[in-house]
């Protein structure tokens, strides 16, 4: 048992370039499990390869909500940074279906109404639904990314009866976050919670048995100009202990139990 990061991007080239150091620093901070989330087939492949040679890393395979409609977005003349020609969604979903047994979760997947133009929301949702039902059939937890589409994503998940769900980096209203938690879903709190009021409020407001730890590294670090790393989940656990007025050891136990309840194995 130990600390964990349910949402890392260790395959990001900035972290991959110093992989051994990043993992050593995580272990030194007490981190025992890092779930590296895939964004598209190429990234899922990289996540799978990393997990195969690194026991502390567990793979989540996904399709980033923007990548899910990227060929259509580019065809419409929208611009979005991408380093290779995006694959059609069907091919991306087939990849996840073919590899579902090898992952500990399906993620990240979700809805993004910020980058994706409204004309493509319906198509994006169809693809999201396909991935949700795939996860439900395989009985895998789902790691959700949403931006400006939290209510719709919650409606879809509720309508489909998905219950093994974690919301990564949830950034909408705190009150609605509580509604999500009361439905039995989990919310993972990133490492910048001490400085980001929304996350601090979530930590204070959510039922404590629905809280998980994440980093979204290399993004969302506690310090502005520092690359985020899994080691930073330790700071979030310490912050939770302060907010909750509980000894740190008790908070660690609680957070471990939450992880095990969702993922079905001890972190």
Question: From the CB of 120, what's the least distance to Zn ion, in Å?
Answer: 20
Question: From the CB of 5, what's the least distance to Zn ion, in Å?
Answer: 11
Of residues 108 and 150, the one with the C-beta less far from Zn ion: 108
Question: From the CB of 39, what's the least distance to Zn ion, in Å?
Answer: 7
Q: How many residues bind Zn ion (CB under 5 A)?
A: 1
- Rounded to whole angstroms, the Cα distance separating 2 from 42 reads 30
Please classify residue 28 by burial: count the beta carbons closer than 10 Å to its beta carbon, then call 0-12 exposed, 13-18 middle and 19+ buried. exposed
- Rounded to the nearest 10 degrees, what angle do helices 89-99 and 121-137 cross at? 10
Residue 184: which of 149, 145, 142 has the closest Cα? 142
Of residues 108 and 130, the one with the C-beta less far from Zn ion: 108
8-state DSSP, 67: G
Of residues 65 and 177, the one with the C-beta less far from Zn ion: 65
Question: From the CB of 145, what's the least distance to Zn ion, in Å?
Answer: 6
Letter string b/e over residues 225-253, b meaning 16 or more CB atoms within 10 A of that residue's CB: eeebbbbbbbbbbebbbeeeeeeeeebbe
Of residues 108 and 125, the one with the C-beta less far from Zn ion: 108
Of residues 144 and 251, the one with the C-beta less far from Zn ion: 144
Question: From the CB of 110, what's the least distance to Zn ion, in Å?
Answer: 10
Find the distance separating the first CA and the last CA of the chain, reported in whole Å. Answer: 5
Binding mask 99-118 for Zn ion (x = CB under 5 A): ---------x----------
- Rounded to whole angstroms, the Cα distance separating 237 from 255 reads 8
Binding site for Zn ion (CB under 5 A): 108
């Amino acid at each position: 048992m130990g600390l964990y990061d349910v949402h890392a991007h260790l395959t990001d080239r900035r972290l991959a370039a110093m992989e051994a150091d990043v993992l050593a620093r995580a272990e030194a901070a007490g981190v025992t499990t890092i779930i590296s989330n895939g964004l598209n087939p190429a990234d899922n492949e990289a996540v799978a390869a990393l997990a195969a040679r690194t026991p502390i890393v567990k793979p989540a395979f996904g399709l980033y909500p923007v990548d899910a409609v990227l060929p259509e977005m580019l065809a419409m003349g929208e611009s979005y940074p991408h380093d290779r020609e995006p694959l059609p969604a069907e091919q991306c979903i087939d990849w996840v279906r073919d590899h579902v047994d090898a992952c500990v979760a399906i993620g990240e997947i979700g809805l993004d109404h910020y980058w994706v133009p409204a004309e493509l929301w319906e198509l994006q949702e169809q693809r999201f639904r396909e991935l949700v039902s795939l996860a439900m059939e395989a009985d895998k937890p789902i790691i959700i990314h949403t931006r400006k589409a939290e209510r719709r994503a919650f409606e879809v998940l509720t309508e489909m009866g998905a219950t093994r769900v974690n919301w990564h980096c949830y950034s909408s209203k705190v009150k609605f976050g509580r509604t999500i938690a009361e439905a039995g879903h989990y919310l993972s709190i990133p490492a910048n919670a001490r400085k980001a009021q929304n996350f601090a409020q979530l930590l204070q407001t959510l039922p404590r048995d629905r809280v998980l730890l994440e980093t979204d590294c290399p993004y969302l670090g506690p310090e502005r100009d520092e690359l985020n790393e899994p080691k930073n989940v330790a700071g979030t656990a310490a912050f939770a202990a302060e907010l909750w007025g509980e000894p740190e050891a008790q908070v660690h136990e609680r957070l471990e139990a939450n992880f095990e309840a969702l993922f079905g194995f001890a972190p």
